[in-house]
Structure 1
Amino acid sequence: MLLRLLMPCIIFVLCGLTSLQVKAKSDIIIILDDLGYRPSDVAAFSLPKEITFSILPQTPLASEIALRAEQEGRAVMLHMPMQAQSGKDMGPLGLTTDMFAGAITYNLRKAMKSVPNAVGVNNHMGSAFTGQQKGMEALLKEVKRQGLFFVDSRTTVLTKGEEIAQRLGVPSASRQVFLDHKLEPAFLLKQFNHMKRIAKKNGHVVVIGHPHPETVNFLKTHLPSLEKEGLTLTSVADYFSHAPKVAKQFGKERDLTASLNNADMKDSKVSMTEENALHSSGLMHSSAEKGVAERLGTAPNE
């Protein structure tokens, strides 16, 4: 009799805890950038569609990769070339520190024409450009006008990217892990484990890698293990769902997925037995720790 009286309370508490557990999932956002030059880049399509492709503008394969990604429901970004301290060649449409605002806007618009379905932008190189205010303001004002989001690749600790993006109201994030600046298996695994630790601590992690054959093969082998550890591979389309262009391109698909997930949750609640509810009540004593932000470093390839 007592059990029957307590059951509604137990189920109510457990439903709340289930909701908290869903919210506490750790999101892993992986961006592969530098796509567009090499025929081998298309091997990245063998990876889950949550992996984001960031494409260099006006490269031989830019349009082909962007179109195929769109057909597969993948999110695409523009990998915008920006001046590095090293003076490395940026490739087409690179942004330099001596450019006027109008020239920066013009180059970004022209770059977007070669990757028209891009929903966001991240910097290619840029250790010089992202550290100066006027140029970044001009860039991010145009990013905002086009309804895009911005991911700071953090190729310098002096970057002003996310700071200015937040001030201008541009949806933004910063890279936290570089996955593959060394292609040795042991190093890739070290960075992959580092990625998982940050995700578990902070609730999300933004990772940048490249479509090297070694990286693609490594990810194909190790990504399936994430779910077992309570980690979720998440598309930037979901992470930046509030960005206007993301909402326009992916809104209907996301709403459908959400409705299916809600139906699954209702079914699971209805099927919960009294025995399982009591057995699970020990969850009431668990708690979540708030993560401390990781120190972010400079891109090793600049």
Structure 2
Amino acid sequence: MGHDKIQGERLIQLDQPITLAFLPFRPYTPSLAREAHAHGKEIMLHVPMANTHHIGLGAGGLDTGMDERTTTTILRRSLQAIPYVQGVNNHMGSLLTQNRQHMDWVMKELFHYPLYFVDSRTIASTVAARSASDHDVPNMSRDVFLDNQQTEESVDQQFKLLVETAKRNGTAIGIGHPHQVTVDYLVKHLPELDAQGIAVATVSGLWAMRHNNAPMFVDVKQPVRTSLAKGKAAEK
């Protein structure tokens, strides 16, 4: 979220309590995040991380060549730029999420707020979730990508896989993107889930289901203080 205002607003208007992940320092991130919060959506930072294909990261990106101080500073400024942020997940990251040292730096920062982490699992050898657990950061991992292929047929196949996974395991996490084909599909098919005995939940809600309603955070430390001025400075 953050680039496409039209598709972003369509996702925000969905009745279901989905979680929306926002890229930092993008044109519509602050306004859409505030609107999403007002509509009862949960907000994450979608932090760009280095990938094996060397695709550009844009503002707020974390790369393997950064030291701990730089990594922490960029992550902190990105968090400050996302109103109502409650958690983090990785955008791309097939390279960085394999690097235990960098993941440890990320999780040390998230622990202080506190914030949860969702591993997008863009590569099977990711160590992000393991690092999060070792740093007492609540975490879960993606089960299904909905739209690696941007066709209605592919999204339908992946969505049905997500439903099957949830029925088999009790819960499942799906990740999609604000492509029109994905949004069109969700607008049409999310309302049909009730009849199938499937409920949609936020990340926090799913955590509660998996942990017998135990609180995600026992000792609240410091809330993320949104600072758009700092965010704009970081973008430059």
Please indicate, yes or no, whether the TM-score normalized by the shorter chain is above 0.5: yes
Q: Is the 8 A contact 1:84 1:126 kept in 2?
A: yes
- Identify, as 1 or 2, the structure richer in helix: 1
Matched, 1:243 2:209: no
The corresponding residue for 1:39 is 5
User: 1:239 offset after TM fit, Å?
Assistant: 2.3
Q: Determine the C-alpha separation between the residues in 2 that align with 1:118 and 1:76.
A: 5
| Paired amino acid for 2:3 | Y
Q: Is the 8 A contact 1:43 1:211 kept in 2?
A: no
Structure whose CA Rg is larger: 1
Q: Determine the C-alpha separation between the residues in 1 that align with 2:132 and 2:48.
A: 18
Q: Aligned to 2:180, which of 192, 213, 220?
A: 213
Q: Determine the C-alpha separation between the residues in 2 that align with 1:77 and 1:65.
A: 12
Q: Is the 8 A contact 1:147 1:243 kept in 2?
A: no
The corresponding residue for 1:6 is none
Q: Determine the C-alpha separation between the residues in 2 that align with 1:195 and 1:133.
A: 29
Sequence identity (%): 35
Q: Is the 8 A contact 2:3 2:27 kept in 1?
A: yes
Q: Determine the C-alpha separation between the residues in 2 that align with 1:117 and 1:46.
A: 18
User: 1:85 offset after TM fit, Å?
Assistant: 0.8
Q: Is the 8 A contact 2:16 2:190 kept in 1?
A: no
Q: Is the 8 A contact 2:24 2:82 kept in 1?
A: yes
User: 1:89 offset after TM fit, Å?
Assistant: 0.7
The DSSP-based 3-state class of the residue aligned with 1:233 is coil
The corresponding residue for 1:230 is 197
Q: Aligned to 1:168, which of 135, 148, 157?
A: 135
Q: Is the 8 A contact 2:12 2:39 kept in 1?
A: no
Structure 1 residues without counterparts, runs of 5 or longer: 1-34, 249-302
User: 1:49 offset after TM fit, Å?
Assistant: 4.2
User: 1:162 offset after TM fit, Å?
Assistant: 0.7
| Paired amino acid for 1:38 | D
Q: Determine the C-alpha separation between the residues in 2 that align with 1:154 and 1:91.
A: 20
Matched, 1:127 2:94: yes
Q: Is the 8 A contact 1:175 1:207 kept in 2?
A: yes
Q: Is the 8 A contact 1:122 1:151 kept in 2?
A: yes
| Paired amino acid for 2:15 | P
- What is the correspondence of 1:66-77 to structure 2 with a 5 Å cutoff? 66-77=33-44
State the TM-score, normalizing by the size of structure 2.
0.86
The corresponding residue for 1:28 is none
- What is the correspondence of 1:83-232 to structure 2 with a 5 Å cutoff? 83-232=50-199
The DSSP-based 3-state class of the residue aligned with 2:133 is helix
Q: Is the 8 A contact 2:117 2:139 kept in 1?
A: yes
The alignment's C-alpha RMSD in Å is: 1.7
Structure 2 residues without counterparts, runs of 5 or longer: 209-214, 222-236
